[in-house]
Structure 1
Amino acid sequence: MIDVYETATDDLGRFGAVFERDDETAYFYLLDMRKQEGKRIISAFNAKAVTDLPADTPVSIRWSSSVAAVGLFVDGALSAIFDLRIADPVGRWADLEDSHLFAVH
C-alpha cells in the first residue's frame, strides 16, 4: 500500500501546504494555519495523475522565496501550484511560466 504524506509551512507560519497520496487518490491542499484545526483548508487540488507514478517517486513541497506560491515537486520537477498572488488561490497543474517563482537566486 502506498502512503505518502508531505507538509510545509511558510516562514511566518501563516500558510501551510499538504500533499497526501495513497493507492487510489492524491490531493494537494493549501491551509490557513491561523484557523482552528479542522477549518484550515483554503483549497484542495485533486492531483490524481500522480497515482500513476511509481510508489517510490520522490515528492516535496516548497515555498517560493517571496512566499507568493507553494509548489508540489514530483521527482524534482514543479508539478502543481497554489499561487497566493490571487485573491482566492486554487490549486492547478504548473506550467513553464510558474517555474520562475521558484528560481534560485
Structure 2
Amino acid sequence: ADIRSPRPASAARGLDIDALLAELHARGVRSVLLEGGPTLAGAFVAAGAVDRVVGYLAPALLGAGPAALTGGGITTITEALRLDVRECVALGPDLRITAAVAAPGTKEH
C-alpha cells in the first residue's frame, strides 16, 4: 500500500509520526518495524512511539561508530530510556536481545 509520509506543518524536514501512525492504524496496521538509522530511531523515541526494542550484539570491538539514537530527547544517563529484557537468543556468533520499554520511573536493575 502506498502511504505518503505526512510532514509536520511546522517543519520542512521530518515526518508527523502521530499522523503516520494514525493512518497506519486506520489501515489495520498494529505493529511497525523501524529499520533505519539513529535519526529515525531518535524521532520515534522522542514521540513516545516505541514500546519494544530488538537489538543485536556482535562479538566485535570497534574504536568508533554511530550512536544508536540521534535526538530522541535523551541527553543524560538519568533520562535514559530504560528497557526490560524479555528474550535473548544466540544467532551464530551474535546475540539478539528483545526488550520492552520499562514503565516510567523504573530504576536500572
* Bin of the TM-score, shorter chain as denominator length: under 0.3
More helix per residue: 2
More strand by share: 1
Larger Rg: 2
Give the number of the structure with larger relative contact order, counting CA–CA contacts within 8 Å between residues 6 or more apart: 2
TM-score normalized by the length of structure 2: 0.26
Q: TM-score, normalised by structure 1?
A: 0.27
